[in-house]
Amino acid sequence: MHPAYSVLLFTTLTGAGYGLMILLCLFGAAGLVPADPLLGLIGFGLSFAMVTAGLMASTFHLGHPERAWRAVTQWRSSWLSREGVMALITYAPAGLFAMGWIFLGDTGGVWAMLGVAAAIGALVTVYCTGMIYQSLKTIRQWHNTWVTPIYMLLALATGALWFNALILAFGEGRSGFTWLSMAMLAAALTAKLGYWRGIDTAKAPRNPGHATGLGRLGKVRQWETAHTQANYVQREMGFWIARKHARKLRLYAVLAGFVLPLSLCLIETTLTGGVGAAVLAFLAAILAMAGMLIERWLFFAEAQHVVSLYYGAETA
């Protein structure tokens, strides 16, 4: 599949934004972080900014972005529509909880209930986003049980890094939040490596014989292409990346998205807070976002749609 930059921004930004929102709401509602109005303003401001920017970016690759609102009307059958509905619903409790935190300095009682509701809404939204891809049977790399859990783990991992950085910046750093970030990163990396191993070793289930219905007659091969020039289907559905390039990019994704942030977090645990620890935490969060962009690009680039069997692909 062709990796559209708008979708890369969408999946990366909304994932981190919702991950940060979930942790702010849960730890805030539990009283495990101070209800500092400035912390609430910056934390929720960053979270809402990433979520909103990501959702807006998701419309940029549409032929008619002005019709995007119609997507939410198909929630009975479409994971894309369910994601849109949940995203809109989540704004309400999250916004109210943020208001209680910022203007009243209160995250308990009814505000805590709103925080928990917002965290659940954000988690369900992330789940729906993952299911948009996992539900597509025409792409074997996506129709995979790893896809949605990985997307949720990546969201929580990047959100945890931003959460930890903000807490440290306000002088409220606790090693537990750093270790939480590291645990989330380690879990996401383990799942991602398992996913890559799975798609590399799994046998492609379809070939031109299945596509044409002539497989019973023997091996089916393409005689000539259907077009003299590349068309839309080939550009969008038939994007192909060489395995050697994919391996190189996987290494970059692992280093930037996981190994370096983990290393910075580990160094941070040896410090007793302060500016140095906060700087390391923010650097870890920024590196992780860069790594996630590479990981998301590969997620799309390595996905092969079955329609490519009509355009020369031997398996899909």
The answer to whether 112 and 87 are in contact (CB under 8 A) is no
Mean pLDDT, residues 155-179? 91
Question: Mind listing the pLDDT tens digit for each residue in 208-219?
Answer: 777 777 778 888
pLDDT over 90 at 114, yes or no = yes
- Residues paired with residue 305 on neighbouring β-strands, in sequence order: 139
Q: What is the pLDDT of residues 241-250, one digit of tens each?
A: 877 889 999 9
The count of other CB atoms within 10 Å of the CB of residue 259 is 16
**The dihedral sign for the CA sequence 94, 100, 105, 106:** negative
Q: Is the pLDDT of residue 55 over 80?
A: yes
pLDDT bin (cut points 50, 70, 90) of residue 173 is low
DSSP 160: H
**What would the mean pLDDT of 51-79 be, rounded to a whole number?**
83
Give the helix/strand (H/E) hosting 112: helix 110-134
In this predicted model, what pLDDT tens digit does every residue of 255-274 receive, in sequence order?
999 999 999 999 999 987 78
Give the dihedral of Cα atoms 41, 43, 45, 46; nearest 10 deg. 160
The model's pTM: 0.92
pLDDT for the residue 165: 96
How far is the C-alpha of 30 from the C-alpha of 28, rounded, in Å?
Answer: 5
- Which residues pair with residue 139 across a beta bridge? 305
Average of per-residue pLDDT across 181-195? 97
> Buried b / exposed e across 83-101, counting CB within 10 Å, b at 16+?
bbbbbeebeebbebbbebb
CA distance 11 to 18: 11
CA distance 288 to 286: 5
As a whole number of angstroms, the distance between CA 136 and CA 120 comes to 25
| Tokens 């940060």 sit on residue | 20
223 burial (CB, 10 Å; 0-12 / 13-18 / 19+) is exposed
Percent of the chain residues past pLDDT 70, beyond the cut: 97
User: Quick one: pLDDT at residue 295?
Assistant: 97
Q: Which pLDDT score is estimated for 51?
A: 98
Give me the mean pLDDT over the 171-196 stretch. 92
14/130 Cα distance (integer angstroms): 12
